[in-house]
Each structure stands twice: as structure tokens, then as C-alpha cells.
Structure 1
């Protein structure tokens, strides 16, 4: 039987697959949580990004058009079926049902045609939470390097993981440049990542290797929400 992936890399406790997530996920069994940022299907592409003249020093990510359509409903259903917890960025584009807890990332990105905030749908039994983390072209908190046009800041992904402190194995079926994996290494968690674009798979592998090499800088303990979590309700009520 042919493997449903082109390559598999084991880096520390991280398990990385180059392939389509619909072929790989059935092999994995259950995981504690899915934390991911799938394509939204809003036609984000290289020409569209390059045309945003108001961005401070826009970066050329090469040709891409993988955002023509969102994942099929059966992909979202499978992600939810194999995991206890889910944090899914772009959840407002998918049919996921009502939730009490959206994780809101305020990008503080000024005047341009990007959204002011991005929303992650969760199945967590808590109130809406928000984080402010500036991410506007070259003007961004932490000045970390960007490898992918829809890359999330490492601090934002650490904050997301902080809301599921009991989850020890994290799956990202749309790994991209591996930011979720780097955040997992820093929190001492096992990571499983799947990516179908070989150039981003290579970037993710390299970033995760570097994170393990720097592991002595990390404290391996259950992650808790970090201090910059504002923990406010979008509806003006008191937090839980």
C-alpha cells in the first residue's frame, strides 16, 4: 500500500508530513487538540498581496493561488472528530456552529485593506478572548521573520495554546511555515504537522529544528495564558 504522503520527518517529538491532510489524518488516531489556520477560500493570491500599496514594505512571497477554495466540509468534520479541542482560524468562513469562545487577534495594522482582526473559532467553554499584536508588513511586534503570506505571529500562537493547557499533543493539518509547531516546542508539547507545499514544508522543518536547538531557553511546563492576553468580552459583560 502506498503511503498517502510524500515524506515524513521526525524532529524531536514533532512528526511532520509532506502531503494532503485528508490522506494523513486518518492515520493519526486521536489528538488532544487541532490548532490550525486553513485556507479561507477568499482568493488570497500573490497578485492581490503585491497590489496592497499601503502596506509598509510588502514582501514578495512568489506565485501562489492556494486560497481559491476553503477545505471541504468533510475535512473540517474529520479535524473535529479526531480531536478533543479545536482552535480554527478563519472559523467565521466555515460552518462550525455557535460557540461561546472566539479568540480574537487585533492586528493593529492601521489603514489598509486587510481585516483589522482575525477570528479563531473554538469549542472551548469560556468567554470571548482578545489579544492585541501588531502585524503590518515590516511594522510588527517582535520583528520576527515572515516566511508565509498568511503566517501568524509566534506570540499569538503561544497565546492560543495557553487556552488549552492540558492538551499535550497538538495537530496542525495546514502547517504552513510551522509557527504552531515552534510554539509547541516552546511549551514542551508534542506536535504533528501536515503541509502539502514542499517549499513551506522545508521552512517548517528548519524552524522547528532551530526551536529544538534553542530548547534550553524554554521552560517545559503546561502553558498558561500569557500576560498580554487582555481577556475582555466583546459584548461588554464581565469575564468568566
Structure 2
């Protein structure tokens, strides 16, 4: 296992099923797990009608969705959860789904993606043009299922009092970048070294270019139980 500390972010290279039990509690989970639909296996190369597709390599991380035990563990160790692809997993009924409307038009991409939450509020929606590419902001797509930064920043606004955010399926680190920009502490886990290195680079860049209007979290990089204590 490799651990990198960047500002108030602690990043783990390894299997989240093994690492999560060692972390203690956190305030919230914001994550986009694999759905088990094969996006890791160059599936995007068949979608060349909108733009020249990028070859992200062949992996097996999206061969199957996470084990139910992993989904359950994310809920056990956190107070609040926002889990993209919640319609693919076994999760209890909820009053609040977060809906990302991709404004795609007519093509083979999904019109929306759904994030299951345990938040006590009504369904909420964000419009953010995607079409298989990032169309807003300064993101560069470096992962086949990478979420736009603006979408993850919007998700954080629904857990405003959560100080420490965990993403057990960090990928290229978009959740971490959003946390840095919002002044939150971040814990990320990623098993693929190539994506882990991308996440480290992106989060380091976010730390190096802070938003002058955001007050950063207390500078305590020691991963202790106190750091992960749930919010009242």
C-alpha cells in the first residue's frame, strides 16, 4: 500500500475493501463506484460519433460492481453518503436522489446519472453538458468515467457541514480536487496506479492554486481517529 499526503488530502493506493476498515469514521462519502458495465475495457472507443475517442487502456475495474459488503461498509463508516450509480446497487429507498442531467440530445449516452443519498431532502438536479466530453470549466478528461469537477462541487453543497470527505473509488481524483477547492479534508482510495498518479497530480495542482475566497481546513495531515470523527 502506498500513501501520499498532499495538503489536507490523504491518498491511498490499494483496495478500498482492505483500507476502509482501518480509517475510522468520516463525515461523508462522495463517490462514483464502478457500475459493472465495462467502461474500463475500451468501451468508449466504439463511441466515435461526437469526437475522436481516447484510448484509456484495458483494465478490469469495471468488470463487475463492488461487492455488497463494500457498499455496506461505505455507509457504516460515514454519516452521509452520495453514491453515483446508486440505481445499480442494493441500497434502501431514499427521498433524495441527486440527478446529473447531461443535456446529451440524441445519442447512445445516458440522459442522466443518478446519485443515491441518505440525505433528508427532496430530489435535486443539475444541468451540466457532457456528451462524453467535459464541456464546461477547465477539466481535462483523463479517466473514462470521470465526472466533471462542477458536478462534484455541486454535490458537496448538499453536505455543507461535512468536514472530511471519503472517496473509496477515487479514479482520477475529481472528488479530491472539489474538496480542496471547497476547503474540505479529503481521503481518497484508488487501486489502479496510473489513475492514482493522475489523482495525485491533479490534487497537488489544486493545492498549489488555492481559491482566495475559500478558507482551507485546519492543516493537520496526520490520519488519526480524531481527524475522521463524524460531524454532530
Name the TM-score, length of structure 1 as normaliser: 0.87
Partner of 1:122: 117
Change (3 A) 1:76 1:138: closer
Match of 1:171 in 2: 166
Alignment of 1:25-174 (within 5 A): 25-138=20-133, 140-174=135-169
2-structure distance, mates of 1:83, 1:177: 22
> Is the CA contact (8 Å cut-off) linking 2:13 and 2:191 kept in structure 1?
yes
Match of 1:163, SS state, is helix
Q: Is the 8 A contact 2:42 2:56 kept in 1?
A: no
Report the CA distance between 1:65 and its aligned residue: 3.1
Q: Which moved more, 1:103-112 or 1:136-145?
A: 136-145
Q: TM-score, normalization: structure 2?
A: 0.89
1:209 pairs with 2:204 = yes
Choose the corresponding residue for 2:178, options 176, 183, 193.
183
Instruction: Give yes or no for contact 1:44–1:65 (8 Å, CA) kept in 2.
Output: no
SS of equivalent residue, structure 2 residue 42: helix
In structure 2, the residue corresponding to 1:10 is in which secondary structure?
A: strand
Indicate the SS of the match to 1:141. coil
RMSD of aligned alpha carbons:
1.5
Q: Which has the higher contact order (CA 8 A, sep 6+)?
A: 2
Distance in 2 between residues matched to 1:168 and 1:30, nearest whole Å: 12
1 CA distance for matches of 2:10 and 2:187?
Answer: 5
Q: Does the C-alpha gap of structure 1 residues 10 and 139 become closer, same or farther in structure 2, counting only changes over 3 Å?
A: closer
2: CA distance between counterparts of 1:111 and 1:64? Answer: 29
Kindly state the Cα deviation for residue 206 of structure 1 after the two structures are TM-superposed. Answer: 0.5
5+ residue gaps, structure 2, are: 218-232
Cα distance in 2 for partners of 1:177, 1:41 equals 18
Number of residue equivalences: 217
**Residues 113-157 of structure 1: CA distance to partner in whole angstroms, max 9, x if unpaired?**
111100000000000000000112446122520010000000000
